[in-house]
Amino acid sequence: MSAAEEVVAEGHEAVEAVPKRAMTLGTGTSLLVLAALLIVPMFVKNFIIFQMTMLLIYGLAVLALNILTGGSGQFSLGQSAFYAVGAYTSAVLMEHANINYALTIPISAAICFAFGYLFGKPALRLSGVYLALATFALATAMPQLLKLNFLEHWTGGVQGLVVTKPDAPFGLPMSQDMWLYYFTLVVTVAIYIFSVNLLRSRSGRAFMAIRDNEIAASSMGVNVSLYKTLAFGVSAGITGVAGSLGAIAVQFVAPDSYTITLAISLFLGMVVGGVGWLPGSFVGAAFIIFVPNMAESISKGLSGAVFGVLLFLVIYLVPHGARQVAILGQQLIGKLRKN
């Protein structure tokens, strides 16, 4: 077994630690979370609403990575590239072609799906750490590609593009932030339900069969190359949607927004949330948004070090991330009931 395969196998063991049905939350808990997400914005400041919107957006991006890594067992450090393509697609369409923001989202999804699918083709030959490196190259190349001179007319080059934030339609008495939050929430819930169903479907089982043992999967008749590239395409498509929403929420796109740091943050969010556990994506997103702020409030000069220590504690104490915490909580509740 090569070193690379070992890395992958290790990942699998982590994923295998729970039965596959436990990929989602129970119906009751899901509804409870949804209710909270619906009601809370009515009572908080616009700034908090904005943060919650960003949480959903990064959550979507982490979810996309989770489908790829947790579902089909492929690594990617290049999610920031797909995120950037989505963001720029929306920004360029909105600002140069005056297309409605809501319509730009399916367009981004389609473009990113195609991009991811095509990238998945050559990446088929790679696995484990080698695939991670190939995607890493994509992430480092993207900011520079966006600065290219012949694209500058559309992308605004290094200066970026300012995006106009949409008003609430039909004269709804809502701030722009609140409207965008509910809009994002609807998109997020739709994609979440789609992802859960995807992983429970025939295709999802094929993803997981490939993840667990590629040879076994292909001998059972799973078209390995098709499903691997498909996983890349779906993941890129969802990341593109997140990018589009991100561009609209932040009202600005620039190459510096989509560096390798973003890709690593998303990867980190996935690990902290629990690889392969979809609801964990949003916990992971919360981690990458709020923990740096917490670290900064503890020490400004050493915020990076504090963040490192917090991250280390999380990985050391709960290596399977939020999923492990959720399981522990469930067991605790179960015990209390028995007593």
Partner 1 sequence: MPAMHVRLGAFSAALVLAATLSTAASAQKKYDTGASDTEIKIGNIMPYSGPASAYGVIGKTEEAYFRKINAEGGINGRKINFVSYDDAYSPPKTVEQARKLVESDEVLLIFNSLGTPPNSAIQKYMNQKKVPQLFVATGATKWNDPKDFPWTMGWQPNYQSESQIYAKYILKNHPDAKIGVLYQNDDYGKDYLKGFKDGLGSKASMIIIEDSYEVSEPTIDSHIVRLKSSGADVFFNITTPKFAAQAIKKNAEIGWKPLHFLNNVSASIGSVIKPAGFENAQDIISSQYFKDPTDPQWKDDPAMKAWNEFLDKYYPEANRADASVMYGFIVSQGLVQVLKACGDDLTRANVMKQAASIKDFEPAGLLPGVKVNTSPTDFAPISQLQLIRFKGEAWERFGDVLSSDVGG
Residue the block writes with tokens 């709960």: 318
DSSP state of 164: P
Return the ∠ at Cα 18 (arms to 14 and 22), rounded to 5°. 130
Question: Who's near 229: CB < 8 A, 6+ residues apart?
Answer: 117, 120, 121, 124
Give the interface with partner 1 as residue ranges (CB under 8 A). 45-48, 50-51, 54, 140, 144, 147, 157-160, 162, 246, 250-252, 254, 256-257, 259, 261-262, 289, 292, 296, 300-301, 303-304
CB atoms within 10 A of CB 217: 20
Nearer to partner 1, 93 or 254 (CB): 254
Nearer to partner 1, 54 or 314 (CB): 54
CB of 81 to partner 1, least distance (A): 16
Alpha carbon distance, N-terminus to C-terminus of the chain: 48
CB of 192 to partner 1, least distance (A): 22
CB of 97 to partner 1, least distance (A): 20
CB of 79 to partner 1, least distance (A): 15
Nearer to partner 1, 100 or 159 (CB): 159
Return the ∠ at Cα 113 (arms to 179 and 157), rounded to 5°. 70
Nearer to partner 1, 113 or 282 (CB): 282
CB of 308 to partner 1, least distance (A): 11
Residue 96 has which token pair? 């140069």
Nearer to partner 1, 197 or 261 (CB): 261
Strands 252-253 and 161-162: antiparallel
Residue 202 has which token pair? 């025939």
